[in-house]
Structures are given as C-alpha cells and as structure tokens.
Amino acid sequence: MVDFLSFRDDEPAQEPTVTLEAIAGQTNATAVRVEPGEDARELLPMLDRLSLVEVNFPAFGDGRGYSAARILREAGYTGELRAVGDVLVDQLVAMRRCGFDSFQPDHPFDQAVVDATLARYDDVYQKTIDGRTPVWAKRHPETANG
C-alpha cells in the first residue's frame, strides 16, 4: 500500500508547513499549506522561495484545490505541489493534470490501482500546464498552439 507518492526527481520536502496567513510574515519559511477557501494567488509574490505547497482536501468532493494547483503552476511555480487529505486514487489523473506532483492520502493507495489508473488514458481533451498534448493539437499538428 502506498501512503506517499511522488512524481518528482528530487527528494520530498520535509520541512513543516506554515499557514497561508503566516507565511507572508515568515520570510524564511519555504513550505506552506493551503486550505480550501484560501486564495492561492496570495502566494504568487513569493513563489521563488517556496519548495513545497501542500493543498489540503478535507473532503474529496471539495474541488477548490484543483483550481489552486493550476493557478500556482500557471504562475510558474515549479516546486513540490502536494495533495494531502481525503485524496482518492480515482482522482489521481485529474490532480496530475492540474499540476500536483506528490500525494499524501489519508487512506493509502493500492499500487496496482495507481499504476492502472495512470496508464489508462492515452488521450486528453484539454490543454493544461501538465505538458500533455491535447487531442486537438494531435489533430492539427501544423498549428503552433499545441
């Protein structure tokens, strides 16, 4: 069973996270935890110094963290982006597409299910910041938009 999953080449960040509210004042802090309802854009001025952003999912049905992740990646954040909490294996693909690259689920994943899930979809309809080529770009390889 898998209780931590990373898709990064570097070691997982170990430092304890501080709250979004606290991090602006703690200029030496490099890890932050974002709760649903908090505005991830508040982190944009300090992305350079962050090595870990944890996005908490207290309930798997609360999808605000997906937007938080994309906003951070779209703004150029390259550090670890970790989904923590009530994160389900069936949500892995969408979370990966939104930019999450590590996972710390409350309930461990089954590795075989993880592998099957991640391998399942060869094609995606949307362009996001994950670098996968959307089908419209495959259909029109001549366009520079892909």
Partner 1 sequence: MYRYDQYDQSIVEARVEEFRDQTKRRLAGALTEDQFKPIRLMNGLYLQLHAYMLRVAVPYGTLSARQMRMLAHIARKYDRDYGHFTTRQNIQYNWIKLEDAPDILAELATVEMHAIQTSGNCIRNISSDQYAGVAAEEVADPRPWAELLRQWSSFHPEFTYLPRKFKICVIATQEDRAAMRLHDIGIELVKRDDVVGARIFAGGGMGRTPMVAPEIKDFVAEDDLISYVEACLRVYNRYGRRDNKYKARVKILIHALGADEYRRQVEEEFAAIKQLALDPPKAELDRIRSYFADPAYETGLSEEIDRSDPAFALWVDQNVKSHKQAGYAIVNISLKPTGGIPGDASSAQIDLIADLAERYSLDELRVTHAQNIVLPYVKKADLHTVWQALDNVGLAEANLDLISDIIACPGLDYCSLANARSIPVAQKIAERFADPARQRDLGELKLKISGCINACGHHHAGHIGILGVDRRGKENFQLLLGGSGAEDASLGSITGPGFDEDGVVDAIEKVTDIYVRERIEGERFLDTYRRLGMKPFKDALYG
Q: Is 88 in the site for partner 1 (CB under 8 A)?
A: yes
What values do phi and psi take at 23, rounded to 5?
Answer: -65, -30
Quick one: 12 or 58, whose CB is closer to partner 1?
58
- Tell me which of 36, 46, 78, 114 binds partner 1, using CB under 8 A: 36
| Pairwise CA distance, residues 21 & 94, whole Å | 27
Query: Quick one: tokens of 138?
Result: 């495959």
What is the nearest approach in angstroms of partner 1 to the Cβ of residue 56? 14
24, 46 contact by CB (below 8 A): yes
Q: 10 Å Cβ neighbour count for 28?
A: 5
| Pairwise CA distance, residues 56 & 38, whole Å | 10
Quick one: 29 or 92, whose CB is closer to partner 1?
92
Of the candidate spans 5-13, 21-29, 47-55, 86-94, the one that interacts with partner 1 by CB under 8 A turns out to be 86-94
- Tell me which of 20, 24, 118, 127 binds partner 1, using CB under 8 A: 127
For the chain, the maximum distance between any two Cα atoms, rounded to a whole number of angstroms, is: 49
Q: Which of residues 41-80 bind partner 1 (CB under 8 A)?
A: 60-64, 66-67, 70, 74
| Pairwise CA distance, residues 73 & 54, whole Å | 13
Site residues (vs partner 1, CB under 8 A): 36, 60-64, 66-67, 70, 74, 88, 90, 93-95, 97-98, 110, 113, 116-117, 120-129, 134-140, 142-143, 145
